[in-house]
Chain A
Amino acid sequence: MANLETDYLGIRSPNPFWLASAPPTDKKINVLRAFEAGWGGVVWKTLGSQVKNVSSRYSAVDFGGSRVMGFNNIELISDRPLELNLREIEECIRLFPDRAMVVSLMADNDRESWHELIRKVEATGAHGLELNFGCPHGMTERGMGAAVGQDPEIARLVVEWVMEIATIPVITKLTPNVHSVVPTGRAAVEAGSQGLSLINTIQSVTGVDLDTFVPNPNVGGFSTFGAYCGPAVKPIALKMLTTIAQDPITQKVPVSGIGGITTWKDAAEFLLLGATTLQVCTAVMTHGFRIIEDLCEGLSNWMDEKGFQTTTDFIGRSVPTLTHWEDLDINYHIVASIDPEKCIHCGLCYIACEDASHQAINIEQGQPYNNYSIKEEECVGCNLCKLICPVDSCITMVEQRKGPDYVNWKEYQQRGLPLNDH
């Protein structure tokens, strides 16, 4: 049995799954239920200055008959009294001492406010602090949240204030609402932040109501840019996570990965691209804390299959395989192959290739079933047909190298090899 125990900057948890700072970590009642269900840790919903929320708060993007492919909120940081939150944090730590308790913070933009907040939070016995430099709505207008995370120099300054007083590990949470998360990540690390977490939510408009003409969520006839998360943002999160793992400065600190993690497979992917712990929110908001069971069991079974004892055996393992385009081997070539035994004659591969790719699929008319086969000489190995085929392993990509040696783009040009040959 693989061991899922995790040590992140000395913060220990029985598994790498933490609940991200969000509504599920806003109150003792939720957090205790989460711990009972088996969650490894929580990042308590952001504490800071007092706020007032509006109604409604959430909206979603559905796709292909599935609900909530993407999720959006315009909720602010915790709207409960600070003293109540602090007392409940302390109680949760006392009741579940083996779980990670990290507290998310967003103080007013002055040194003294940050110091005061950190002193109070540390007094609860919390194990770590997460600096919320990412919230994209409501707080930014007041110079907080993403307004800090979008400017590396402001972020550096705030982290410096924090590090003057913090005695427990500090994790800086990065906003994705930037062209690159690396500059702010570097500033935070250089200013002393021991860890990074990413991504926070992405500014969004999830849709417009076609009857009222008002975008979602509707607050009395108006809406506002919200914070997008859920399965739809995973690919963006993975890319940003990788850039942190590739940068010589930010790669020195452990990362807590966030962004659309829904299944153990997502979790494994985040770990492979450099995350040490995993934060989950939307999947819990849509299905409850019970999803922790399969997250742990699935990850553990996969680790057993792959021969991994602990997550540290493979954290970041896939990072070196993400290279620059110009370093890819131009002689590597694959062509599609359709298994006629498995083919159900739906024609989806054909029409996609015909209309959107390289007209590399033959159609042989039949009544009612057409037969489809690959024109190997036309196939560029784009994967499109394989991606849309509804039958598992019906279309496979077969390696047919253009040449035996590795030739990248630079070398290809130097050798004067032919361009535009397709």
Chain B
Amino acid sequence: MAILDHRLTDKEYAQNFSDIHPPFETRDAALVEANRCLFCYDAPCTKSCPTGINVPKFIKQITTDNLKGSAYTIFQQNIMGGGCSKVCPVEKLCEGACVYNLMEEKPIAIAKLQRYPTEKAIAEKWPLFTRKPSTGKKVAVVGAGPAGLSCAHLLSREGIDVTIYEKENKGGGLMTYGIAAYKVTPAFCEDEVGYILSLGGITIKYGMELSRDIQLEQLRKNYDAVYLGFGVGLARQLEIPGEELQGVVDAIGFIYTIRANGYPAVPVGDKVAVIGMGMTAIDAATQARRLGAKEVTLVYRRTQEEMPCTETELEIARLDGCKVLWLAAPKEILGEEGQVRQLVCSVMQLGIADGSGRRYPVDTGETVTLEVDMVIKAAGQMPYEALVNATSLTNDRGRLVITGNTTNLPGVFAGGDCVNGGKEVVDAVQAGKDGGAAILNYVMNNQRH
């Protein structure tokens, strides 16, 4: 057993990381699906979209060959509508609400249809939005992820000059760095960010980290308002013995490396355990398999009933040959010569329901041991607690506390993962819109404090 990179041929990598949801190849194919749409009124799909995309309208516009209008309908509500069409868990959002489900029929392939006009718009750089004349107002945004970009785009359209401070050297946040490559490619993410910036009025300063390279107080002084959308980032620690061993990595870091360094350069074990059962755990497990791991086991302390990922995601992992060990909580990682060799898990059983209604797992006292050479931790992400505590921002264990969209500091707004602790891209886009609208109201109607 060993952790190795370059396990596969270029052809195998290309095949393993090809688009899991291929787009419509022809207009005819898109039209067949688009014409199935019933064009519901006050549509359940729209109501189930966190950004409220008018789904029936954009689909109708595909049927009338008004693709520019269709793309505009999508981007108007969700400027990352292209990326969201690839990464959204649509089975629990728009497609899950499609009325065809109630007829026991296949729901409309909304995500696939959404890709159709948005990919063209991004590839062909359709200038769908124009800026209003400059208002002379300036806003700083911290974080070029979905929340920050969506906030910036809304503000720039209204004639506000926006500067985004981003610690990485690419925009897109977790869309660019935290999602399985077979769902959305790094190249697409770059194009998407470029498309958003093509509006003008938005400058991104890369390699600028809050509290390290820039200070919040400075931003407050230099801009009419500040939006914080710096997300979450730290992997939750297991806090068990052996966590320091070689071969224990966190999922976010693992996925980041895949996206930043390219597939062949990413080392992966022969036998990999992935801790957790969220979307990130699935993305890590499936990609470990696709990088050439011989055996991948997802380890989760509860049951399928309680898992945070969708059934569709679990199905992807299973089709990739990943195993699942239910009711197992990591207890200890054992190693030899500093290298991971075994993962010891407590066997759990479900006890009574906790406050959130989920049944709490209870240790049975028995253990089960997995022979592994790599452990990927995907047990959730932690807010940047230290960063936040270094400011005077009110927070709840590192999560910013906002009222409406405003922090406790006048002129400082926040939204997205840094507030909610980590949700979908589409939720962050909406948070950015809400924050942008609040900032617009603030800078246009209020004098500076």
Contacts and interface: CB of A to CB of B under 8 A. Distances in A.
A350 interface: yes
A344 B35 contact: no
B99 A65 contact: no
Given A344-B99, A345-B102, A369-B44, A65 B38 contact: no
A345 B63 contact: no
Interface of A: 64-65, 344-348, 350-351, 363, 367-370, 390-391
B103 A344 contact: yes
A223 B203 CA distance: 54
B258 interface: no
A347 B43 CA distance: 8
Nearest to B40: A346
29 contacts: A64-B35, A65-B34, A65-B35, A344-B100, A344-B102, A345-B99, A345-B102, A346-B38, A346-B40, A346-B41, A346-B43, A347-B40, A347-B41, A347-B43, A348-B38, A348-B41, A350-B41, A350-B42, A351-B41, A351-B42, A367-B47, A368-B44, A368-B45, A368-B47, A368-B48, A368-B97, A369-B44, A369-B97, A370-B42
Nearest to B103: A344
B32 interface: yes
Interface of B: 31-32, 34-35, 38-45, 47-48, 63, 97, 99-100, 102-103
Contacts of B48: 368
Contacts, number: 44
Contacts of A65: 31-32, 34-35, 63
A72 to B, nearest CB: 21
A368 B43 CA distance: 8
Contacts of A64: 35, 63
A350 B39 CA distance: 13
A351 B102 CA distance: 20
Contacts of B42: 347, 350-351, 363, 370
A350 to B, nearest CB: 6
Contacts of A346: 38, 40-41, 43, 99
A390 B38 contact: yes
A369 B46 CA distance: 11
Given A64-B63, A345-B44, 16 more contacts: A64-B35, A65-B31, A65-B32, A65-B63, A344-B100, A344-B102, A345-B102, A346-B38, A348-B40, A350-B41, A351-B41, A363-B42, A367-B47, A368-B45, A368-B48, A369-B97
B36 to A, nearest CB: 8
A345 B45 CA distance: 11
A90 B207 CA distance: 89
A347 B46 CA distance: 13
A245 to B, nearest CB: 37
Contacts of A390: 38
A210 to B, nearest CB: 9
A345 B320 CA distance: 37
Nearest to A392: B103
A147 B412 CA distance: 80
